[in-house]
Amino acid sequence: MLDDMGPALCLVSAACFGAMAIFGKLAYDAGVSPGALLLVRFSLAAALLGMVLLLRPGLRRVGPDPHRAEPTGRAPAGRGRVLATAIGLGAVGYAAQASLFFSALQLMDASLLSLILYTYPALVTVAAVLLGRDRLTRRRSAVLVAASGGTLLVLLGAGGVSFHPLGASLAFGSAITYTIYILVADTVVHRLPPVVLSALVMTGAAGTLGVRALFSGDVDLDFGVPGWFWLSCIAVVSTVVAMLTFFAGLKRTGPSTAAILSTFEPVVTTALAALTLGESLSPVQLLGAALVLSSVAVLQVRPSRTPRQARDPLSDEPAPDAREALDPARDGSGDPAAAAR
């Protein structure tokens, strides 16, 4: 039954990330600057995760994964290399992606920015297939098209978008950066516990943004209690919880499925904006949301299996070898971690 938790964890992560835009808008209204938001977000998240690891030492250990095989001809990565990769994910990948995103947000409408950013599920799927980590089955292709089309309808349904060439370039750079981030994270997510990996990523991002703030001097922390409250919401809900559930979901589903499920995020953002900011959902947006939710449902439906034959959960074709028959979590991404649980 734990095998089915992968998609659910990805959806929880997408919902938490989706709330960040609302928290961010409220934080800006409370006088928080973008630079302060990024620095406090990652620093507070790193501190919280560090406290969790101190209070719960058992979360630092990762159990053996006898089903996780190394790619042919590649030696297992050393502990130091894995730790360095995890820190680099935050220091380079996450810090760069967040900086590009918020820089683009200053130049263009949020709806168009989100539309460009959410080209990354398609980029992740194509890259994972080219790298041999996933198979582009008919079912997965249909789900990707439906989820991407639904996201397009949700975002374009808002209307009134303006185009800015530099902003669009920054937004697409953010999508490419996040694509690389997911693919690199997939190489270490099986070697570190989710809390440890998340803490290292947050620490790396906080370090990079701290150094930048030190040299630029443009981070002003002189804002009131409401600003700190919304920053705490961003750090706890939209960073710590979102990151932990994303890595746990990625570990169980693989990069392509995790990326496709992440298209639920803009649907959550749009719905929360309607509930909290008084923005209304148009019929086009409702249709788009229905497409995304339908895609999510399809991803969670597993074809029936017989005791003698297992099938890829995103394909109708039999599993290629006997090991997949013992591994119902395998979806072509080489990720049998959930079955070991």
pLDDT tier at 62, thresholds 50, 70, 90 = low
**Residue 85 belongs to a domain:** yes
**Residue 335 belongs to a domain:** no
* pLDDT(329) > 50: no
**Residue 67 belongs to a domain:** no
* pLDDT(66) > 50: no
CA dist 178 and 316 (Å) reads 30
Which tens digits make up the pLDDT trace of 243-252?
888 888 888 8
Convert 208-245 to b/e letters by CB count within 10 Å (16 or more is b): bbeebbeeeeebeeebeeebbebbbbbbbbbbbbbbbb
pLDDT tier at 175, thresholds 50, 70, 90 = confident
CA-closest candidate to residue 303, choices 283, 279, 330: 330
pLDDT given for residue 129 in this prediction: 82
pLDDT given for residue 234 in this prediction: 92
In DSSP notation, 236-303 reads IIIIIIHHHHHHHHHHHH-HHHHHHHTTHHHHHHHHHHHHHS-PPPPHHHHHHHHHHHHHHHHHH---
Q: Which residue has the higher pLDDT, 218 or 335?
A: 218
* pLDDT(28) > 70: yes
CA dist 161 and 250 (Å) reads 33
CA dist 291 and 289 (Å) reads 5
CB of 128 within 8 A of CB of 141?
no
pLDDT given for residue 299 in this prediction: 57
* pLDDT(339) > 70: no
Convert 263-287 to b/e letters by CB count within 10 Å (16 or more is b): bbbbbbbbbbbeeeeeeebbebbee
pLDDT given for residue 328 in this prediction: 33
* pLDDT(341) > 60: no
Residue at token pair 């080209």: 119
Cα 64–Cα 337–Cα 247 angle in degrees, nearest 5? 105
pLDDT given for residue 158 in this prediction: 59
* pLDDT(317) > 60: no
DSSP 326: T
**Residue 323 belongs to a domain:** no
* pLDDT(334) > 50: no
State the amino acid at position 267 in one-letter form: V
The number of angstroms, rounded, from the C-alpha of 221 to the middle of its chain's C-alpha atoms is 28
Domain limits for position 138 = 2-60+77-300
pLDDT tier at 237, thresholds 50, 70, 90 = very high
Q: Is 330 exposed, middle or buried (0-12, 13-18, 19+ CB in 10 A)?
A: buried
Question: By mean pLDDT, which of 63-77, 161-175, 206-220 is the weakest?
Answer: 63-77
* pLDDT(214) > 60: yes
pLDDT given for residue 335 in this prediction: 35
**Residue 212 belongs to a domain:** yes
Q: Which residues, 6+ apart, have CB-to-CB distance to 240 below 8 Å?
A: 45, 48, 49, 198, 202
Q: Report the percentage of the chain scoring pLDDT > 90.
A: 18
For the chain, the first-to-last Cα distance in angstroms comes to 9
pLDDT given for residue 290 in this prediction: 74
**Residue 197 belongs to a domain:** yes
Average pLDDT, the chain: 75
Domain count, the chain: 1
The residue-averaged pLDDT of 232-242 equals 92
CA dist 316 and 296 (Å) reads 18
CB of 13 within 8 A of CB of 187?
no
Highest mean pLDDT among 9-18, 126-135, 137-146, 286-295: 9-18
pLDDT given for residue 17 in this prediction: 87
Q: Report the percentage of the chain scoring pLDDT > 70.
A: 73
**Residue 34 belongs to a domain:** yes
Which tens digits make up the pLDDT trace of 82-106?
899 999 999 999 999 988 887 887 7
pLDDT given for residue 73 in this prediction: 42
pLDDT tier at 206, thresholds 50, 70, 90 = very high
**Residue 332 belongs to a domain:** no
State the amino acid at position 76 in one-letter form: P
